[in-house]
C-alpha cells in the first residue's frame, strides 16, 4: 500500500461518507475461550483461503467506489506471514481504489510481533495497529487463554513505536473473575505509560457457546454482577477522562477526536462498507448481507464461481431509524433530535430520561450521559414500541 501501489484519489474534505473495506482473516493459532468471532486453527487452509479471497475481490471490485478505510481483522491477521500480507496488499491495490489519506488498520496479537515484523507491517503501508493486549497481568492473561505474557505485550508496544507507528490502538478487558477495580486501574496506568493514541476497554462478555460460557454454566467461576460492572465502567471513564482521553463511544477512548477509529464509525453511522472473507458483513443502499461462516464453504463457493453470501436483508426505514438511535446513543455524537420528536409519547419519554440524568440535548442532538451509557442498550427501547 505504500508509494503508488494503490490507485489513490486526492484528499477531499468530507470524505467520511466514503465506504470502508473490512477483510476478515479467519485464522488463529489458538482459540481464546471468550471469543465468539469466527476463526479456525487450521493454518494449512491459508493458501486455499488466499486464492478464494482473490476471487472474491475480483467479483466485488465494482460494487463500491473509493474506500478511505481498510481494516484487517479476525481471527488474527498477524498469524499470516509477510508474503501472505503482501499478497493481500497487492490484490486489494490492483482491484480497488483508495483515497490518499486512507486509514489502514491491522489487528495484531502481541505474541506475533517481533521487531522485524513490526517494521515489515509498517513498510506495507499500514498506518494504524490495533494490538490485542487484553490484560497486563499474567494470571488474567492465562484465564483469558491468551498466548502472550504481559512482558511480551509491553515489548510489542515498544516494537511498534520503534517501527514508527504513530497511531496505536490497544484493546483491554475488564470484569475478569478475581480482578479488582484497583488492579484494573493499575493496568490502565501501565498502558498510559506507552501513550497509545486509542484505547478500547471492553467488559468481559460471556457469549453463549464459548468455552468460558460453558465453564460458567458448570459453576467453575462466577461472572461479575451488574453493580460490579457499573463500578468498573465508571472507574474506567473517569480515569481515562482525567488522563486526557475522549470517550467517543461507550468502549472507545481517543487522545484526540481525530484519532478515533474512522473505520468503526462507518458501522455506527450507516456509512456503506464492504466485508470480505468468511462471516464478514457488508452494508450499502439500505441492505445488509453476510458471508458464510465457514472457511471451507467460503472457498468452495468462490471456486465454483459464486459469491459466498449466506444471507441478506433489506432494512426498512423504521429499522434504519431504530439502528441510528441505538448506535448513535452509544457515541458522543448522539443522534438528531428529529429521530424522536413529533410523537407526544416519545417526547414525554425524552423529558423523563432528561430528568433522570440519562439523556441530554445539545444543538439539536440527543446524547446519552455517562450514566446513560450504562443503560445504552435499553435507552432506544424507551422510544420505540
**DSSP structure class, residue 384:** -
Q: How far apart are CA 296 and CA 52, in angstroms?
A: 10
The whole-number pLDDT of residue 47 equals 98
Q: Tens of pLDDT along 300-325?
A: 999 999 999 999 999 998 888 889 88
Q: How far apart are CA 337 and CA 361, in angstroms?
A: 8
Its sign, for the CA torsion 3, 112, 53, 102, is negative
Any residues with CB less than 8 A from the CB of 60 and at least 6 apart, and which?
274, 276, 307
H helix intervals, the chain: 46-60, 82-95, 115-123, 138-143, 150-162, 181-192, 211-217, 226-242, 262-268, 295-303, 317-328, 344-355, 370-373, 379-383
Do 103 and 15 contact (CB within 8 A), yes or no?
A: no
Name which of 22-36, 103-117, 213-227 the model is least confident about: 213-227
The whole-number average pLDDT for the span 38-47 is 96
Any residues with CB less than 8 A from the CB of 329 and at least 6 apart, and which?
335, 366, 367, 368, 372, 376, 379, 380
Q: How far apart are CA 380 and CA 385, in angstroms?
A: 9
Neighbour count for residue 60 (Cβ, 10 Å) = 17
The whole-number pLDDT of residue 11 equals 36
The whole-number pLDDT of residue 16 equals 66
Cell numbers standing for residue 178 = 478475581
Residue 340 has pLDDT above 80, yes or no: no
C-alpha separations of 35 from 129, 146, 201 in Å: 20, 11, 15
The whole-number pLDDT of residue 7 equals 39
Percent of the chain with pLDDT over 90: 83
Q: How far apart are CA 292 and CA 283, in angstroms?
A: 16
Do 155 and 203 contact (CB within 8 A), yes or no?
A: no
Q: How far apart are CA 326 and CA 320, in angstroms?
A: 10
Residue 346 has pLDDT above 90, yes or no: no
Percent of the chain with pLDDT over 70: 95
Residue 13 has pLDDT above 60, yes or no: no
Residue 23 has pLDDT above 80, yes or no: yes
The whole-number pLDDT of residue 384 equals 75
Its sign, for the CA torsion 297, 299, 304, 310, is positive
Q: How far apart are CA 286 and CA 54, in angstroms?
A: 26
State the number of CA atoms in the 13 A half-sphere of 201 facing the CB: 29
Query: For the packed helices 46-60 and 295-303, what is the interaxial angle rounded to 10 degrees?
Result: 50
Any residues with CB less than 8 A from the CB of 265 and at least 6 apart, and which?
16, 271
Q: Mean pLDDT of all residues in the chain?
A: 92
Q: What are phi and psi of 110, to 5 degrees?
A: -55, -30
pTM: 0.93
Q: Tens of pLDDT along 241-267?
A: 999 999 999 999 999 999 999 999 999
DSSP helix, strand, coil percent of the chain (3-state; round to 5): 40, 25, 35
Q: How far apart are CA 297 and CA 291, in angstroms?
A: 10
Do 30 and 109 contact (CB within 8 A), yes or no?
A: no
Cell numbers standing for residue 235 = 472507574
Do 204 and 33 contact (CB within 8 A), yes or no?
A: no
Amino acid at each position: 500500500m505504500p508509494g503508488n501501489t494503490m490507485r489513490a484519489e486526492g484528499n477531499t474534505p468530507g470524505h467520511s461518507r466514503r465506504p470502508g473495506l473490512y477483510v476478515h482473516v479467519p485464522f488463529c493459532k489458538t482459540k481464546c475461550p471468550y471469543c465468539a468471532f469466527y476463526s479456525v486453527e487450521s493454518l494449512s487452509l491459508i493458501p486455499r483461503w488466499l486464492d478464494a479471497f482473490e476471487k472474491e475481490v475480483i467479483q466485488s471490485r465494482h460494487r463500491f467506489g473509493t474506500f478511505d478505510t481498510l481494516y484487517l481483522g479476525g481471527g488474527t491477521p498477524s498469524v499470516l506471514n509477510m508474503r501472505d500480507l503482501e499478497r493481500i496488499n497487492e490484490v486489494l491495490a490492483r482491484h480497488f481504489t483508495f483515497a490518499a489519506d486512507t486509514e489502514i488498520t491491522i489487528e495484531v496479537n502481541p505474541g506475533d510481533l517481533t521487531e522485524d515484523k513490526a517494521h515489515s507491517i509498517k513498510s506495507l503501508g499500514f498506518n494504524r495497529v490495533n494490538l490485542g493486549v487484553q490484560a497486563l497481568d499474567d494470571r488474567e492473561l492465562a484465564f483469558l487463554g491468551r498466548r502472550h505474557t504481559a512482558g511480551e505485550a509491553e515489548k510489542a508496544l515498544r516494537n511498534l513505536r520503534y517501527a514508527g507507528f504513530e497511531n496505536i490502538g490497544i484493546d483491554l478487558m475488564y470484569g475478569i473473575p478475581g480482578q479488582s477495580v484497583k488492579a484494573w486501574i493499575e493496568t490502565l496506568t501501565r498502558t498510559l505509560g506507552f501513550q497509545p493514541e486509542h484505547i478500547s476497554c471492553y467488559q468481559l462478555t460471556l457469549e453463549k457457546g464459548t468455552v468460558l460460557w460453558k465453564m460458567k454454566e458448570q459453576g467453575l467461576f462466577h461472572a461479575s454482577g451488574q453493580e460490579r460492572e457499573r463500578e468498573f465502567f465508571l472507574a474506567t471513564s473517569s480515569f481515562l477522562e482525567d488522563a486526557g482521553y475522549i470517550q467517543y463511544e461507550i468502549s472507545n477512548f481517543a487522545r484526540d477526536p481525530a484519532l478515533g477509529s474512522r473505520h468503526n464509525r462507518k458501522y455506527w453511522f450507516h456509512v456503506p462498507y464492504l466485508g470480505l472473507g468468511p462471516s464478514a458483513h457488508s452494508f450499502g443502499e439500505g441492505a445488509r448481507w453476510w458471508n458464510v461462516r465457514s472457511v471451507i464453504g467460503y472457498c468452495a463457493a468462490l471456486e465454483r464461481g459464486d459469491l459466498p453470501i449466506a444471507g441478506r436483508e433489506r432494512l426498512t426505514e423504521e429499522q434504519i431509524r431504530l439502528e441510528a438511535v441505538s448506535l448513535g446513543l452509544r457515541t458522543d455524537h448522539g443522534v438528531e433530535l428529529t429521530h424522536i420528536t413529533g410523537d407526544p409519547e416519545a417526547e414525554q419519554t425524552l423529558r423523563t430520561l432528561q430528568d433522570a440524568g440519562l439523556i441530554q440535548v445539545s444543538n439539536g442532538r440527543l446524547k446519552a450521559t455517562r450514566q446513560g451509557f450504562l443503560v445504552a442498550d435499553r435507552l432506544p427501547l424507551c422510544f420505540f414500541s
